[in-house]
Amino acid sequence: MLMGTRQHEILNLLDRKEQITIAELADTFGVSQMTIRRDLDQLQSEGRIQRSHGGAVKVKRFMGAGYDQRASEHKAEKLAIAREAIKHVQDGMSIILDAGTTVAAMVDGLERFKGLKIITRDLHTALLLSNEERFGSFDVYCTGGRVSKWAYALDGIYAEKMLGSLTVDIAFLTCEAVSGAKGAMAWSPVLVGARQTAMDAAGKSVLLADSTKFGYNSLAIFASLDAFDEIITDSRLDEDAAGVYREAGYPLRVAEPI
């Protein structure tokens, strides 16, 4: 079977199965696992699949899925990333929490800290942090800006102006896609300014991105990967793919599940 035909059939298989392993594909097509790895590398470079641990899943490009839908997906992975991210936090710090369900997964873990100053443009995160009983020692600020109804988030020039007036210890950012060649990307140019301004305001910037966001492109680039002090993902990222990012010098950390 020609390589192009085999890759087309791999995509057809992924239409019917959420995930498929390299071993399964090698058996199906009667070729070596190395050949399948090359096929998957090619398909990932084209943004058509995402390599996972020992296999692949088909990429579904980010199209502004609703908050509740995104919050219900990859919960274990997001919690693992959040636990790793919280290791950067200490009592009394000032931090920016970007909008997004992965960053929102940090909220419960922040309860053990005292005196945090938190700035967010995520209305859902701000509401959670307004609980006096749990977070009474915190000062919590919400940016202004245009309300993004699908994300419960604030963006645009007013969000950027507030973030640009700050100096904080650390910013926790999220994204919609991660590419070694292009960097961290957002689904819309309207999100670029707020994220870039948050990074400029922070002494340290940490990117939180679950493994489904790696290896493909979205519309708007907001930062190169070497602009982050750490990039935290989950253990479903293929080991070979993780190795490529590390060899390129990017500060990738894989959060292991409990």
Q: What is the per-residue pLDDT across 13-61, written as a single tens digit (0 to 9) for each?
A: 887 877 889 999 999 999 999 999 888 888 776 656 777 778 887 655 5
Query: What is the reported pLDDT for 221?
Result: 93
Please enumerate in sequence order all residues whose Cβ is within 8 A of that of 179, keeping only pairs 6 or more positions apart, or say none. 185, 215, 216, 217
pTM: 0.76
* Proportion of the chain above pLDDT 70, given as a percent: 89
The SS3 of residue 254 is strand
Q: How far is CA 8 from the centre of its chain?
A: 28
Q: Give the architecture-level CATH label for domain 67-255.
A: 3-Layer(aba) Sandwich (3.40)
Tens-place pLDDT, residues 123-139: 999 999 999 999 999 99
Q: For 226, which DSSP code?
A: G
Q: Where in the chain is the domain with CATH 3.40.50.1360?
A: 67-255
Please name every residue paired with 127 in a beta bridge, in sequence order, or none if there are none: none
Q: CATH 1.10.10.10 occupies which residues in the chain?
A: 3-58
Residue 223 forms beta bridges with which residues? 184
For strands 117-120 and 139-142, give the pairing.
parallel
Q: Provide the CATH topology of domain 3-58.
A: Arc Repressor Mutant, subunit A (1.10.10)
Q: Report the DSSP pairing between strands 55-58 and 20-21.
A: antiparallel
